Each structure stands twice: as C-alpha cells, then as structure tokens.
Amino acid sequence: MLFWEGEPCSGVFLILEGRVKIFRTSPGGRELMLAIETAPSSVAELPLFDGGPYPASVRAIEPVTSLFINKADFQQVCRQYPDVALKVLAVVGKRLRHLVGLVESMTFGSVTQRLARLLLEASGESPAGTFDLPTHQEIASRLGTVREVVSRNLARFRAEGILRAQGHQIQILNRARLEQEAESQD
C-alpha cells in the first residue's frame, strides 16, 4: 500500500516502474477501482492543492519503484517553477475527465455494456484481438459490480460466440456483436 483513502496527505508519489491501482472502499468493504496507473506516472496530486486527505487508496499491483516528494518540498518546487504546477494540474484535469466518464458509465450503462466496453478497450491494444483478462473480481471492482455478474456476462458472451476464453486469455470472435452490446440501450 502506498496510502489509504482518508489519511492526511503527506506528499505525492512518482511511479517510476510498475503499476498501481487507485480505488475506493465502501463501508461494507467492497472495492471500486477508479484507475490503474502505469509508470511513468504520479499519484496523490489533488490533496497537494486542496489540503484535504487522500481521496482514494493506492496499492501496487506488481513490483513498483516509486519516489516520494513531501508536501512542503513539492509546494516549494511549484512556487519556484510554476510550469511544474501547471503540468500537475493537467494530470489532475485528465483524472477528473476519466472520473466523470466513469460516473456517466456507471449511471447510464448496464454492467453488460460496461463489460463490453472494457473488453473492446482491452482488445484495442492487441492487434490480433487476443489479450489477457484480469480476474473476474478485478473486473467487477473496475465496473462497480460483483464477480458473479461479470462471470455470468462473460459466459453469455462465450455461449453466443462473441468471444473465446482460454484461462485468462480472451479472443474476440465477433467484434461487431460486442460493439452492439457496448452500445445497446436497456
């Protein structure tokens, strides 16, 4: 763990190697994944500007090398080099846009639509349409649902010939049909 949501902000983390998961936890203990950040990146910028606590938790999901810059030093660098503050605000803006999209997706899209979009996004990075899928629990956390709903939807996609699953390896067989699932209205 780099830090937990609600802790006082002591500084910013620069991720030099590896990947981290940014998430919130409900009072019942359920996780909602907000983002995965891959090096080079940074996390915990917002509370440096608004003075609040860390708004989410951050955990390494693979070996990570990071640097920590304490709040006072970071603020001094921003006063001395205003371009640093502008670049960090651009990162905060990008994150805000992502979160607005996430809220919209969760508010207006069914789990099936969100899962189809996630699969299309993941396959877009693989020219052959074959890619590794995280665990069903990790997907559920990312989509704001439970593992059973993800498993049921993936099983339906397999049964309808939309995709093939071999362990964690997924191959999209009918991209047009998956795109329909991503856009269909309930």
In degrees and rounded to multiples of 5, residue 184 shows phi and psi of -60, 145
pLDDT score, position 161:
92
Tens-digit pLDDT profile for residues 34-85? 888 999 999 999 898 888 999 999 999 999 999 999 999 999 999 999 999 8
If you classify domain 111-183 with CATH, what class do you get?
Answer: mainly alpha
Q: What is the mean pLDDT of residues 13-23?
A: 94
Concatenated DSSP letters of 32-91: EEEEEEESSEEE--HHHHH----SSEEEESS--EEEEEEHHHHHHHHHH-HHHHHHHHHH
Q: Which residues contact 99 (CB under 8 A, 6 or more apart)?
A: 34
Domain boundaries, the chain: 11-108, 111-183
* 14: confidence class by pLDDT, cuts 50, 70, 90: very high
CATH topology of domain 11-108: Jelly Rolls (2.60.120)
